[in-house]
Amino acid sequence: MELQNEKSLNFIEQIIETDLENGKNGNRVLTRFPPEPNGYLHIGHAKSICLNFGLGIKYNGQTNLRFDDTNPVKEDEEYVDSIIEDVKWLGFNWDGEIRYASDYFEQLYQWAVQMIKEGKAYVDDQPSELISQQRGTPQKPGDESPYRNRTIEENLDLFEQMRSGKFQNGERVLRAKVDMASPNMQMRDPVMYRIMHAHHHRTGDQWCIYPMYDYAHGQSDYIENITHSICTLEFENHRPLYNWFLDQVANGDRPQQIEFARLNLNYTVMSKRKLLELVKDNYVNGWDDPRMPTISGLRRRGYTPESIRNFADRIGVAKRDNVIEFGLLEFMVREHLNKIADRVMAVINPLKITLTNYPDGVTEDIELVNNPEDPNSQSRKLPFSKHLFIEQDDFMIDPPKKYFRLSPGSEVRLKGAYIIRCDEYRTDENGKVTELLCTYDPDTRSGAGESRKVKGTLHWVSADHCIDAEVRLYDRLFTHEAPDSDKDHDFKEFLNPNSLQVLANCKLEPGLKEAAIGTKFQFQRIGYFCVDKDSTAEMPVFNRTVTLKDSWSNSTN
Ligand code: ATP
Ligand code: MG
């Protein structure tokens, strides 16, 4: 039993359990999720959120939400707000107040001053291009800056002047004095501070020097007493620098950086820079466009927090990069919606039917269970009348064999109601079918005892009672499995021109009139849909969340 448990631990859990066994960090577990507020969160971030908060919960610890807001030029309050909303929506609570790296600017500055005093940092007057040229290559050691050995006094004075705004952007930087010959390029005197005369969304104009990620990140972890600092694999070779910076200030417990493989999904891009480009240049309708892999887009599309958490769980934590099929995410969404979504009748490409032998002006109530997957499900009554709509593609003039839907002379059951036969069809001048004339068999009402059986069952709505709606069908945003992997083509060249199809003339059962924004439904035989924020009382709008795996065209009743 115990062995099995051990086996199912992922490598990060193994590290944490070993630390707990050894009493490291006073048996505390404190993780953090550290987004930079320079865009909306995407499904990759959701993976990181589920991992970090999940570990906090599993080990009776906590998780901090910290904004890594060290680059005012790219960051914005709007992004902060959206990130907070997304983390909450995914169902997680952070420990105490929200934190900001900018809250630590003074401390970070003081530590930098201390490092200068200890001969561990210096001001470099060279432009950044020259500094990069001197960094060398992994095979060739870098060249030392001519300013590397200026005196401590001069460094302190220049750094002070940097802070007080004496220099223009890019005129000077503060660099850590580590090792220009290190085989690890990250260790070749990395920049710690740069000059940026820019307004910060929290600190205003208080600062014109801003700490670089590598310096700010680990020290912020240390300030917050983080125990396990989990990041993605591209930071693996930053780990020695992370530890070097901690060496300069830490005593006692210190955070441990652990890297895992980032989530990659096919048919999508996940870099915030690229997602921003899609938004800014109007390739999509905003960050929460339901085709976007952003958390807000997925939410608007109708994905549930449960399905995203289940997905994160299912893919697990890997040490090597891999690509996950988008279909797996859709599978998890379908699995959850199947349990919670009410089944409703919706005709998205309507074809009119008249039941010639059904009395005029009569309405019957057809009772249907809302969700057969839910043992406590309620049922509802649906009006049935002489005039109905079915889907256009549920009728064919000249059907192939095994077509169990409607065709001239054939019979189908209307779900929950009667068996009908198609006697005649009408077309317009282009030969398009515009109306079916059918007869119903009054002895075949569903639920009224034995009835004969037919192979096809169709969904329908009563034309006299249904409501009009707009339905938006989404497809993949990209036609290429890895849109940003092709060196010769910009990722935008692979945008799917048919990723959005708007159906403006849909007919839904009347009960959907006032469905609240975000409510999820299964449109029977079509897919899962949810009410979009563009909905109005006059014109409800539904997004297709995901298609159904299979239709029930072969079932009866
Ligand atoms: P991007 O590369 O999309 O710009 P980022 O890594 O720069 O994203 P941050 O805001 O710095 O974005 O990310 C916050 C946290 O989310 C980091 O800890 C980062 O490692 C994690 N993260 C980002 N993308 C992924 C991903 N695809 N899979 C797992 N974790 C991710
Ligand atoms: Mg980052």
Give per-residue pLDDT as tens, 197-211: 999 999 999 999 999
Ligand 1 centre from 407 Cα, in Å? 54
Q: How much is the pLDDT for 280?
A: 97
What's the mean pLDDT in 413-431?
Answer: 97
Decide: helix, strand or coil at residue 396: coil
Rounded average pLDDT over 509-529: 96
Beta carbons within 8 Å of 359's beta carbon, 6+ residues apart: 386
**What is the average per-residue pLDDT within 407-434?**
97
pLDDT attached to residue 159: 98
- Whether 22-260 shares its CATH topology with 346-459 is answered no
Closest C-alpha residue for ligand 1 atom 14: 35
Atom of ligand 1 lying closest to residue 41 CA: 10
* Sequence-distant (≥ 6) Cβ neighbours of residue 273 within 8 angstroms: 39
Nearest CA to ligand 1 atom 22: 45
Return the active site residues: 36, 262, 272
So what CATH class is 272-342+469-547? mainly beta
Over the stretch 316-337, which tens digit does the pLDDT of each residue have?
Answer: 999 999 999 999 999 999 999 9
Distance CA 298, CA 300 (A): 5
Position in ligand 1 atom list of the atom nearest CA 49: 16
Please provide the DSSP assignment of 343-368 as one string: EE-EESSEEEEEETTSPTT--EEEEE
In the predicted structure, residue 431 carries a pLDDT above the cut 80? yes
Tell me which residue has tokens 């800056």: 145
Residue scoring higher pLDDT (117 or 485): 117
**Ligand 1 atom nearest to CA at 36:** 10
Q: Give the list of residues 6+ apart from residue 546 with CB closer than 8 angstroms, or none.
A: 302, 330, 333, 334, 337, 527, 528
Q: What's 323's DSSP letter?
A: -
Three-class DSSP category at 521? strand
| Ligand 1 pocket: which of 40, 43, 45 to mutate (most atoms within 8 A of CB) | 45
Question: What number is the average pLDDT over the span 14-43?
Answer: 97
pLDDT of the residue at 447:
84
What tens digit of pLDDT does each residue of 491-507 get?
A: 999 999 999 999 999 99
48 lines ligand 1 (CB under 6 A): yes
Which ligand 1 atom is nearest residue 230's CA? 18
- The yes-or-no verdict on residue 26 having pLDDT over 50 is yes
Establish whether residue 262 lines the binding site of ligand 1, counting it when its CB lies within 6 angstroms of any ligand atom.
Answer: yes
Quote the pLDDT of residue 312: 97
**Residue minimizing CA distance to atom 26 of ligand 1:** 44
pLDDT class of 118 with cuts at 50, 70, 90: very high
Residue 551: is its pLDDT beyond 60?
no
2 pLDDT more than 70: no
Centre of ligand 1 from the C-alpha of residue 273, in Å: 12
| E strand or H helix that includes residue 260 | strand 256-260
Over residues 23-46, the mean pLDDT reads: 97
pLDDT score, position 540: 97
In ligand 1, which atom is closest to the CA atom of 232?
A: 20
Q: Is the distance from the beta carbon of residue 36 to the nearest atom of ligand 1 less than 6 Å?
A: yes
Question: 36 CA to middle of ligand 2, Å?
Answer: 6
> Is any ligand 1 atom within 6 A of the Cβ of residue 293?
no
Count, in order, helices (H) and strands (E) of the chain.
Answer: 13, 25
DSSP letters along 283-294, please? Answer: SSSSTT-TTSSB
Residue boundaries of the structural domains of the chain:
22-260, 272-342+469-547, 346-459
Pocket test for ligand 1, best of 65, 213, 232 (most atoms within 8 A of CB): 232
Q: Return the structure tokens found at 293.
A: 């892999």
pLDDT in tens, 217-228: 999 999 999 999
Task: State if residue 37 touches ligand 1 by the CB under 6 angstroms criterion.
Answer: no
Residue 241 pLDDT grade (very low, low, confident, very high; cuts 50, 70, 90): very high
Domain 22-260 -> CATH class:
alpha beta
Each residue of 172-185: pLDDT tens digit? 999 999 999 999 99
Which pLDDT score is estimated for 183?
A: 96
Closest residue CA from atom 9 of ligand 1: 35
Mean pLDDT of the chain, nearest integer: 95
CATH class as words, domain 346-459: mainly beta
